[in-house]
Amino acid sequence: MSELKIAMAQLAPVWLNKSQTIEKAEQAIREAAQEKADLIVFGEGFLPGYPFWLALSDGAKWELPINKSLYAHYAMNAIQIESGDLKNICLLAKELKIAVYLGIIERAADRGGHSLYCSLVYIDQKGETQSVHRKLQPTYDERLTWSPGDGNGLRVHNLNGFTLGGLNCWENWMPLPRAALYAQGENLHIAVWPGGLHNTKDITRFIARESRSYVVSVSSLMRKEDFPKDTPYYDNLMDKAPAILADGGSAIAGPNGEWLVEPVVHKEGLIYSEVELKRVFEERQNFDPVGHYSRPDVTKLTLNTERQNTLNIKNQ
């Protein structure tokens, strides 16, 4: 049976700075490869960062200059995959033969190139981008800056005998997207978060017990000192920002729902663990949510994986 070594990248981005955060991600990938990791996972929206200003700037107020300015800054530092923004990361993954789950803010060209999506990208060990999952439903104030995604990225991927799938933050509380991944054979679930023990301490073990899978929850960090001084409206943000905006909480639960790596807080760096596929089969013996303990004749889920687009051009 297969084993997998995982690196959880609990890092603070160079907030809203695309180029410097890419460099930080590349450094982490190199470090993980040196430690013989098969997979490295980054937090939600790590590249170039989570929109923390929304909670600090009266984010829902119309025509407020701070919100317009920060959104523009955010968009200009967001990732456009079609333009090659992830090219070097893909080349590095291929060179080092390491798979990557990377949380990005995507400025999607196929939706006009101005709206933003919270996306989770999977790059395989050949350096090929296999899926880009756009968060289905941004949470609360996130809806002021992120657009709702679609089901195109609800896919699973094979790695060393494991079947991997992933969701962004509070998507993990949505039963049907979880079930869609389970039904495709997922046995190692990736849950990415902007950071916060309050997010990971309960749901990580819950999903593991529900699915009888490994669950890898990876969070970023964000502290007051992590705001670059050249950020628009820096002084305004500093007046309202708490000392800690995201404290980490990265963790791994085993297929029995017990901790393999307990949540780690207030620590920046890579956190490593090895998982063994045999444990999944042991726990599926008495419960398999889409196999012997399911009733598709009674309840069944429909998944629409079509990439949503405003324009479909048909050849004449």
Enzyme catalytic residues:
44, 135, 169
Sign of CA pseudo-dihedral 18, 238, 52, 12: positive
End-to-end CA distance of the chain: 53
Pairing of strands 116-123, 99-107: antiparallel
Amino acid at 166: G
- Please enumerate in sequence order all residues whose Cβ is within 8 A of that of 307, keeping only pairs 6 or more positions apart, or say none: 110, 150, 152
Given a contact cutoff of 8 angstroms between Cβ atoms, the answer to whether 48 and 78 are in contact is yes
Alpha-carbon gap, residue 163 to 183, rounded angstroms: 11
- Cis, bond preceding 48 (omega within 30 deg of 0): yes
Contact criterion met (CB below 8 Å) for 107 and 114: yes
Helix, coil or strand: residue 106: strand
Residue recorded with tokens 């429909």: 302
The conformation of residue 244, written as its DSSP 8-state character, comes to E
Instruction: Give the tokens for residue 205.
Output: 């073990």
Least Cα distance to 118 among 145, 141, 146 occurs for 146
Q: How many residues does the chain have?
A: 316
Name the amino acid, one letter, at 246: A
Angle of helix 175-183 versus helix 197-211 axis, rounded to 10? 50
